[in-house]
A and B are shown apart, each in its own frame.
Chain A
Amino acid sequence: MIEMTIDGLDVQVEEGSSILDVAQFYGIPVPTLCHHDGLTDYGACRLCIVEIGKGDNTKLVSSCTYPAELGLFVRTNSKRVVEARKVLVELLLAMCPSSKTIQDLAAAMEVTKVRFKVEQGDCVLCGLCVRMCAEQMDAKAIGFVNRGKDRKITTPFDIKSDVCRTCGACIYICPACELRCQGPGPPGDVCGSCANVLPVCLEDEDDKMCFLGTCGWCYKELGRKKNKEKE
């Protein structure tokens, strides 16, 4: 067992576990996109970055690929981490704005606009499908091809692979395949996620259900209104 500190909590962890494993074990939320239990960690999406070290000597590392060390001092939600994550989500959104998973991540981090040039891509190169195919399906039918800006995921020679059993595991695990919700906000780069738009609150009608679920926005608004009335 190794002793380390995560978010001010002194913890004992098993040797060989990653910082992300530790965070998840102790119930500390760390957003991820390319991590999946049962697949090797790859560190592609960088969303799970955490700040390690103390004082001036800190650095950002991807927690899924960084092993737990003796005396490690980890902060999972410092200002630097949160700011960096927001930029990362914006970059992912610019790459693939049609993905529900990425839009949800953006909504959870309160990202409301994309400052980068938006490309209507359908892949963020997270490598989940490649790892799924190789590790769980033992097929290696798809993989990364080319490099740099031309990097993409495809089969050898762009033709139907002999080893592909069309099991569909790659589609099952793809975070970009599930399309985002198109309403109630107007379509744009950020989907108008329920957390980002002002919902049509039914504040005066108690017996109706809000179609947005429990976003809690109306309660906040009600609270603000009551405060104003008090003033």
Chain B
Amino acid sequence: MKKADIDKILKKYDYKKSSLISILQDLQVINRWLPQETLKYVSEKMDISLMDVYSLVTFYKSFSLKPRGKHIITACSGTACHVRGGPKVLSELENQLGITVGETTPDKNFTLETVRCLGACALGPLVVVDGKYYGQMNPKKVASTLKKYSKKK
């Protein structure tokens, strides 16, 4: 991440300490994750201890300290989706992508995550790809859904 880009975002929020979450969210948009050097630079520039920044980043699930893929697949593992066959969809996703939950494919295209509930239980089992909801999923539909986001050869 370029330091000029970070400075631009810091300036946008006027180096306000209360805006730390917004700043980190904006920073995450650039690379889809927060590298160690970025956090160190932010803590130095904003005069916030690195420990406080690190505590905050590890507290919220939306921040990632590991590189994430281009497309983020979120499978719901809430109660309603679970009884409607959520685990089967999740294991099919894991099989097809060749990764387990929390990991990123080697080509940096997909990251697989789970979520407890999205509040759209009527659509379960639910899979969300980059914010787009795919309801009534089943293991058969997984391949065609992934194809839409796969890299074109």
Closest residue of chain B to A158 (Cβ to Cβ) is B54
User: Is A211 among interface residues, defined by CB-CB distance under 8 A?
Assistant: no
Q: How far is the CA of A156 from the CA of B37 in the complex (A)?
A: 12
User: In the complex the two chains form, is B54's CB within 8 Å of A145's CB?
Assistant: yes
Q: How far is the CA of A33 from the CA of B153 in the complex (A)?
A: 62
Closest residue of chain A to B59 (Cβ to Cβ) is A147
Q: Identify the stretch in A68-76, A136-144, A192-200 within 8 Å (CB) of chain B at 4 or more residues.
A: A136-144
User: In the complex the two chains form, is A143's CB within 8 Å of B59's CB?
Assistant: no
Total number of A residues with any Cβ neighbor in B under 8 Å: 14
Q: How far is the CA of A147 from the CA of B53 in the complex (A)?
A: 14
User: In the complex the two chains form, is B52's CB within 8 Å of A146's CB?
Assistant: no
User: In the complex the two chains form, is A140's CB within 8 Å of B49's CB?
Assistant: yes
User: In the complex the two chains form, is A140's CB within 8 Å of B51's CB?
Assistant: yes
Chain B contacts with A in 44-99, Cβ cutoff 8 A: 49-55, 58-59
User: In the complex the two chains form, is B55's CB within 8 Å of A145's CB?
Assistant: yes
Q: How far is the CA of A213 from the CA of B146 in the complex (A)?
A: 72
- By a CB distance below 8 angstroms, the chain B residues around A163 are 49-50
- By a CB distance below 8 angstroms, the chain A residues around B39 are 156
User: Is A157 among interface residues, defined by CB-CB distance under 8 A?
Assistant: yes
Say whether chain A's binding surface is mostly helix, strand, loop, or mixed.
Answer: loop
User: Is A155 among interface residues, defined by CB-CB distance under 8 A?
Assistant: yes
- By a CB distance below 8 angstroms, the chain B residues around A145 are 54-55, 58
A146 CB contact (under 8 Å) in B49, B53, B59: B59
Of B36, B50, B59, which is in contact with the most chain A CB atoms at under 10 Å from its CB? B50
* Shortest distance from the beta carbon of B39 to any chain A beta carbon, whole Å: 8
* Shortest distance from the beta carbon of A98 to any chain B beta carbon, whole Å: 27
- By a CB distance below 8 angstroms, the chain A residues around B55 are 143-145
Q: How far is the CA of A141 from the CA of B52 in the complex (A)?
A: 9
- By a CB distance below 8 angstroms, the chain B residues around A142 are 51
Q: How far is the CA of A156 from the CA of B51 in the complex (A)?
A: 6
User: In the complex the two chains form, is B54's CB within 8 Å of A156's CB?
Assistant: yes
- By a CB distance below 8 angstroms, the chain A residues around B54 are 143, 145, 156-157
A141 CB contact (under 8 Å) in B36, B51, B58: B51
Q: How far is the CA of A161 from the CA of B49 in the complex (A)?
A: 11
- By a CB distance below 8 angstroms, the chain B residues around A141 are 51
Given contact pairs A145-B55, A157-B54, A163-B50, a sample of 10 additional A-B residue pairs in the complex whose CB atoms are under 8 Å apart: A140-B52, A143-B51, A143-B52, A143-B54, A145-B54, A146-B59, A155-B51, A156-B51, A161-B50, A162-B50
**Chain B: residues with CB nearer than 8 A to chain A?**
36, 39, 49-55, 58-59
Q: Which 7 A-B pairs have the closest CB atoms?
A: A140-B49, A156-B54, A143-B51, A140-B51, A156-B50, A145-B58, A143-B55
**Chain A: residues with CB nearer than 8 A to chain B?**
140-147, 155-157, 161-163
Chain A to chain B contacts (Cβ below 8 Å), 14 pairs: A140-B49, A140-B50, A140-B51, A143-B51, A143-B54, A145-B58, A147-B59, A155-B51, A156-B51, A156-B53, A156-B54, A157-B36, A157-B54, A161-B50
